[in-house]
Amino acid sequence: MTRPDKRPDYRSIFISDVHLGSAGCQADALCAFMKTHTSEQLYLVGDIIDGWRMRKKWYWPQSHTNVIRRILTAAKRGTDVTYIIGNHDEFLRAFLQFRLAFGEIKVKNRAVHEGEDGKRYLVVHGDMFDGMMRADRKWIMHLGDHAYNFLLWANTKLNAIRRRLGMPYWSLSQALKKRTKRALNHIHNFEGHVADYCRRKEFDGAICGHIHVAEMREIDGITYMNDGDWVESCTALVEHHDGRWELLHFQPHAVKDDVPSVNEARIAVVA
């Protein structure tokens, strides 16, 4: 259980798109983040394990095991942990009928989070709102996955050079998303579909991942929040005890000996 003499840092933390089992996963950064950021509730909002990648090639270094240990330790110490299934870990959906759980960790397709602000938030990975995930288009999604992994490989090489030159981390794939009209349209359509669904189902807002773009904004009266990812941007969505929402941006190359930089950036705040 959580120690009674120390209140967790946040009411809730939401992280997604960790992609354990892939070379692009920023596992060390996530371990450092979880070591210094505690919460009463922890939502793992899909694509925590990259089943797509591991079906093709086994990749599982010690740092990925350390992430699992951090999560299990949090649950053991009293954090209420919920694992939401995404498209890259969709193999878990076949076991939902058996009320799948990993110890104290609940596994679900979706959840409803009751915020301190009194609002009801749909918590879902988000692949259901992505037109590319339709059965007749999945081959396009898999093709895009190959292209994306090439970008991550190129990004790793580029940032290795930038580190040697004393330059900060920079995401090539994120930059392309912000500058490519097709990518911007895809993101805009995704966010609109999420908001429309919440409106029809009478949710006040949604918390999701999937598109690897951290965001908090109002869409026609619906609060849309995306917690980003731990491959490119290393972002987490947090709910403060007073009901405020905030996106945290963790600098992946500011980690030294599993201790985060004190200059960790907060990139957005919603009161």
- Tens digit of pLDDT for each residue in 64-89? 999 999 999 999 999 999 999 999 99
Contact 222, 198 (CB under 8 A): yes
Model pLDDT, residue 68: 96
Q: 3-class SS at 93?
A: helix
Structure token pair of residue 214: 């951290």
Domain ranges of the chain: 10-270
Averaged pLDDT of the chain? 83
Tell me the CATH number of domain 10-270, given options 3.60.21.10, 3.40.30.10, 1.10.287.1400, 3.40.630.10. 3.60.21.10
124-146: burial string, b at 16+ Cβ within 10 Å, e else: bbbbebbebbeeeeeeebeeeee
DSSP string, 194-206: HHHHHHHTT-SEE
Instruction: Give pLDDT tens digits for 27-40.
Output: 999 999 999 999 99
> Would you state the structure tokens that stand for residue 190, as one six-digit string?
């995704």
Helix/strand/coil for 183:
helix
